[in-house]
Structure 1
Amino acid sequence: MLRRLLRRRREDPAVAVIGAGFAGIGMAVRLRKAGFDRVTLLDKAGGPGGTWWHNTYAGAEVDTPSVLYSYSWMPWKWSRTHVRQAELQAYLAAVLERFGLADKVRYNVEVKTVQWHEDRQDYTLHSGDGAEIMRAKYVVSAVGLLSDPQLPNLPGIDTFGGPLFHTAKWDSGFDPEGKRIGVVGSGSTAAQVVPTLAGQAKQVVMFQREPGWMVPKMARPYTDVERAALDSRLAQKAIRWRQIYQRDRGQLGGGVWRPGTPQNTGAEAAARGYIERSLAGRPDLIEAVTPRYPYGGKRPIITDDFYPALLLDNVKLVTEAVREVTETGVVDGAGAEHELDALVMATGFKANFLSTFDVTGRTGRSIHDYWAGDERAFLGIMVPEFPNFFIMYGPNTNGGTIVTNLELQASYIASAISRVERARASSVEVREWAADLYDRSVQKMLVGTAFQYENNYYRSESGRIATQWPDGVMIYGALTKALRGPCLRVESKLGACAPAPEKEEVATP
């Protein structure tokens, strides 16, 4: 409260947060708690939720327990152990309302460029047509890692005569009843889509390029007694910390991700047992869905419904990728033709950081040129040459309990901004030596992990692991607390009492 009162003596800095999903909304709340009121969230969607606004496909739900897939500071009376898309979107809308942030969001605004002005010590954000969206002293990217849909460039894809769409752009008017539907992809999304469509479609044909390790989700509705218990903040806190501890115990030192360790061996044995129990009596299916790579080489798929769906008469598994699309169906890699009425692309997302916009830093170089196809960032949050710019869910932060990671990142960013404002400075930037040392340390931790498997989305263009965090959330949290002071350079390039930009120039809503 004292910080807020002192800061009111001068105008708050403008902060632009790009994205209104879990990362962006959590960031806005954290900034509000730190006393910063001139926060604007920008999102290309028509409402809040980020990935949970766009992914409305049949069967969309989390594969992390609901208590963990929510903010620690805003528990919720969830309906299920693993909640579905609509309930998550409603939760995020409720967060905005509770913290008075609903009028701070500008929807249907797509940021394409973010440009630093060294003379003004602030950024200008532009849309795709070059129009200025706003100016801001600080910019936070909260667009996530897996948010830009990836549609395969298949020969003939434009010739298909029926409905064809990506799961992240689900056709709400699509009726699967009585149709022969092809599902291209075999990851987490396909594992949710296939069982749901199977209950309505005449036939579902899934094209699997490579199987993935699967583990049971054990999802179910909460009982009335359990829902009543969720009214207790103390109970939710206890459940949350128990689940974090259980996850961290397996991930400590990257154990579960390192082939040959007891944790990894045990996880793979459990996954094999799940296959054999679920598909008993079908050695053909057991052979088809058992991966040939170590557990953790690709993102494990958490599902209760997929293996049982494969046993249904109207579900067919094709262990070949799609080679080409025709007017009436597809041709698989073995040359077999499959007649279909509709095609659903469960082909994932572009695993490139900041794939939807570009940032120009103080040297005039874009962040993509700086990375040169080799994305890296200090704590996954800050990049040298890019003052006052922060990334949430950035390089080498994927894995573990993601919402907890986002809370840690939001705290770090709010602390960095507060440090600049207390010093009446104009910018904060990570020091090059700190970023290099941190990156080398993380890459050393990744050596020997299953993430090194070549056929996954974890690698950058150079082949280094750019997406994954190799340890538990507690270690990451400790680093976000410890790596502050000397790792960051706070500078005053406009004078100690330089005025902030006029409000109308910032164009906050």
Structure 2
Amino acid sequence: MEKRPWPQVENKDFGDAAVVIIGAGIAGMCTAIDLIRKNNCRNFIILERGSGIGGTWNDNRYPGCCCDVPSIMYSFSFEQNPNWSRKYPGQEEILNHLHAIAEKWGLYRHTRFNSAATDARWDDEEMKWKTTVKICGDKDSEYSSGYTITSDFLVSAVGQLNEPKMPSIPGLDSFKGKIMHTARWDWSYDLEGKRIAVIGNGATGIQVVPELVKVASHVTQYIRTPGWIIPRLDTSVSTLQRLAYQYSPPLLWRHRAEIFTWMDNTFKKVVWNPENPESKMARQWNRALLQATWPKDEELWEKLTPDYPPGCKRILFSDDYYPALTKPNCSLEMRPISRITESGIEVEGGDVEEFDLIVCATGFHAGAYFVRAIDVQGEGGRPISDIWRHYPQALYGISLESLPNFGMLYGPNTNLNHSSIILMIEAQSNYISGLVEEVLYAKKLGLPLAITPKKDRLEEFNEMVQEKLKETSYSHPTCNSWYKSPDGKRVVANWCGSVVEYQTQLSKIAWSDYDVKGAAAEVVLKGKKEKKIGRVVEETMVSNMALATGVLGAVAVVGGCLLHANGYLRRFQRR
């Protein structure tokens, strides 16, 4: 067997690794690939409690499931996909794309499926993480019910939206029919001819209803508050366009840059000022859709118009949701649900409707579930429940107080509601790779190293974030969303600025932000104030006109050179 120097060597010990990554979704995959690309390290283990790669795109398989971000934005910058079939890709196409990336980078051999991390504890003496793994698969559990992995660095890539939230409605457990959450869809259940209730009207609710209406005898959707819905304008991507992207990648990069820049700039205008032209345009688009769907029903227009500003919650995109509500086998119920009976749903006023199936499009447990049901304990055995006893917060949404050599992706205040979360994840993964690089170097020297954010810097950063968020539509008094803490006093999920601002913030590691301990500390720092790690620049830096002028200028220069060379050659031949 070929012998390679550490850390290029892969895991020689089943219970030992340089890095443990919890979660095999987009965030975990990105971190793993960065370890390979930037740290030349394959000494890592990915723990995935499910049976496949893909995270949310492996979990969510309900009818109509698709992305509400343009497909050209929904891929890693280093693995841009020129072959999306539609402007907005469906779940299966996205999952297939992620499978191809996992195969290309050899991630499967590092991933342990049906393996749930139940707790992770920092060992102060060894300066290492001890992660306990519970084996969920029946066959694998015959060998062992669980084990512990020792690692030098721990990465949480579990995301914010992975624990389905069932509605708190009296009588839910008494229903004799079928109940399923959209994130746990049972495809063995036959929908044909069934009477179906859908609870919820967020991004998932408006995607599943149009599909259910096609096969059910009747669908009733129960909603509490309407959402801002504007046209998706979904189209297929032509073969010619795909070929152009495939054989001329700069065209793909430019198109992606234009969409990225537009989305980032529009965010600033909509979220930061509910009365600006872009926000008013969203209102106008929504009203136009309502009027086109129900031309004479002004009362319904008002009922389906939110009382909160656009941007408070994620603006929803759909071409077929409102039309689905007009079908004779579909109805909308806006009266509050009183209780669920053995055979159906009773609303305020006493009316009861019977159903065969209740679909809960009711979202996920957010906020406190940044590390899911994992008992994380840091220095001195301090649990994360104590670290986050007030509100979840982290330095740049990544590093936590009292948790050395720990990185979190898609953590507190890093969510977006206007663009691709992959853009944020790449910046976080790049930053974490910079921290891991120092830990790997220390390990290579045989010296311990612990990197922990300073409490005062962490608090300073989060106060800055919260002050900025107070000015946004997320904090509007009429806005009630999962972005906020349970008491509604703090926005704990969303970032306070643009994607570019976040990427720029993470383009370097300031060592003044951290306490660096261990015998390798002096070797790592060596009097350095910061470590530059850079960022991916995808926004448009020049206008299309300037770009075209530059291209034409370059063509002219090349053409002039060719003509000059041709003339010189002719003169030479005459001699």
* Residues 409-420 of structure 1 aligned to structure 2 (within 5 Å): 409-420=428-439
Structure 2: distance between partners of 1:210 and 1:10: 52
Structure 2: distance between partners of 1:349 and 1:265: 30
* Residues 397-416 of structure 1 aligned to structure 2 (within 5 Å): 397-399=414-416, 400-416=419-435
1:160 aligns with 2:166: no
Q: Are the counterparts in 2 of residues 121 and 493 from structure 1 also a CA contact under 8 Å?
A: no
Q: Which residue of 2 aligns with 1:443?
A: 466
More displaced, 273-282 or 218-227?
Answer: 273-282
In the TM superposition, what is the alpha-carbon distance from 1:289 to its structure 2 partner?
1.4
Change over 3 Å in CA distance of 1:182–1:257 after alignment to 2: farther
Q: Are the counterparts in 2 of residues 186 and 208 from structure 1 also a CA contact under 8 Å?
A: yes
Greater C-alpha radius of gyration: 2
Structure 2: distance between partners of 1:103 and 1:358: 26
Residue-by-residue CA offset, 1:316-355 (whole Å, 9 max, x unaligned): 0000232211111111234321111111000000012223
1:236 aligns with 2:252: yes
Structure 1: distance between partners of 2:522 and 2:515: 16
In the TM superposition, what is the alpha-carbon distance from 1:13 to its structure 2 partner?
5.6
Find the partner of 1:452 among 458, 475, 479: 475
In the TM superposition, what is the alpha-carbon distance from 1:371 to its structure 2 partner?
0.8
In the TM superposition, what is the alpha-carbon distance from 1:181 to its structure 2 partner?
0.2
Structure 1: distance between partners of 2:132 and 2:122: 12
Percent identity reads 32
Structure 1: distance between partners of 2:366 and 2:480: 13
Structure 1: distance between partners of 2:104 and 2:480: 43
Find the partner of 2:275 among 230, 249, 260: 260
Residue identity opposite 1:124 in structure 2: K
Residue-by-residue CA offset, 1:43-77 (whole Å, 9 max, x unaligned): 11111111111100000000001111111111221
In the TM superposition, what is the alpha-carbon distance from 1:151 to its structure 2 partner?
0.8
Q: Are the counterparts in 2 of residues 401 and 473 from structure 1 also a CA contact under 8 Å?
A: no
Change over 3 Å in CA distance of 1:436–1:269 after alignment to 2: same
Change over 3 Å in CA distance of 1:329–1:481 after alignment to 2: same
Change over 3 Å in CA distance of 1:6–1:157 after alignment to 2: closer
Number of aligned positions between the proteins: 493
Partner of 2:72, secondary structure, is coil
Structure 1: distance between partners of 2:469 and 2:227: 21
Q: Which residue of 1 aligns with 2:395?
A: 378
Q: Which residue of 2 aligns with 1:92?
A: 98
Q: Which residue of 2 aligns with 1:507?
A: none
* Residues 78-157 of structure 1 aligned to structure 2 (within 5 Å): 78-127=84-133, 131-157=146-172
Q: Which residue of 2 aligns with 1:66?
A: 71
Q: Are the counterparts in 2 of residues 256 and 263 from structure 1 also a CA contact under 8 Å?
A: no
Partner of 1:422, secondary structure, is helix
Find the partner of 1:193 among 208, 214, 219: 208
Q: Are the counterparts in 2 of residues 256 and 267 from structure 1 also a CA contact under 8 Å?
A: no
1:301 aligns with 2:301: no
Structure 1-normalised TM-score? 0.92
Change over 3 Å in CA distance of 1:174–1:6 after alignment to 2: closer
Structure 2: distance between partners of 1:10 and 1:354: 26
Change over 3 Å in CA distance of 1:275–1:6 after alignment to 2: same
Change over 3 Å in CA distance of 1:333–1:44 after alignment to 2: farther
Find the partner of 1:394 among 411, 418, 422: 411
- Greater relative contact order (Cα < 8 A, sep 6+): 1
Residue-by-residue CA offset, 1:393-446 (whole Å, 9 max, x unaligned): 011111032101111110000011113333555221112222111101111111
Residue-by-residue CA offset, 1:454-503 (whole Å, 9 max, x unaligned): 42111124521100112211011000114533212332258999xxxxxx
Q: Which residue of 1 aligns with 2:235?
A: 220
Partner of 1:14, secondary structure, is strand
Q: Which runs of 5+ in 2 are unaligned?
A: 136-144, 524-575
In the TM superposition, what is the alpha-carbon distance from 1:227 to its structure 2 partner?
1.9
Change over 3 Å in CA distance of 1:337–1:8 after alignment to 2: closer
Partner of 1:409, secondary structure, is helix
Change over 3 Å in CA distance of 1:21–1:476 after alignment to 2: same
Q: Which runs of 5+ in 1 are unaligned?
A: 498-509
Q: Which residue of 2 aligns with 1:36?
A: 41
Q: CA RMSD in A?
A: 2.3
1:489 aligns with 2:505: no
Partner of 1:103, secondary structure, is helix
Structure 2: distance between partners of 1:491 and 1:266: 53
Q: Are the counterparts in 1 of residues 158 and 372 from structure 2 also a CA contact under 8 Å?
A: no
Q: Are the counterparts in 2 of residues 374 and 461 from structure 1 also a CA contact under 8 Å?
A: no
Residue identity opposite 1:169 in structure 2: R
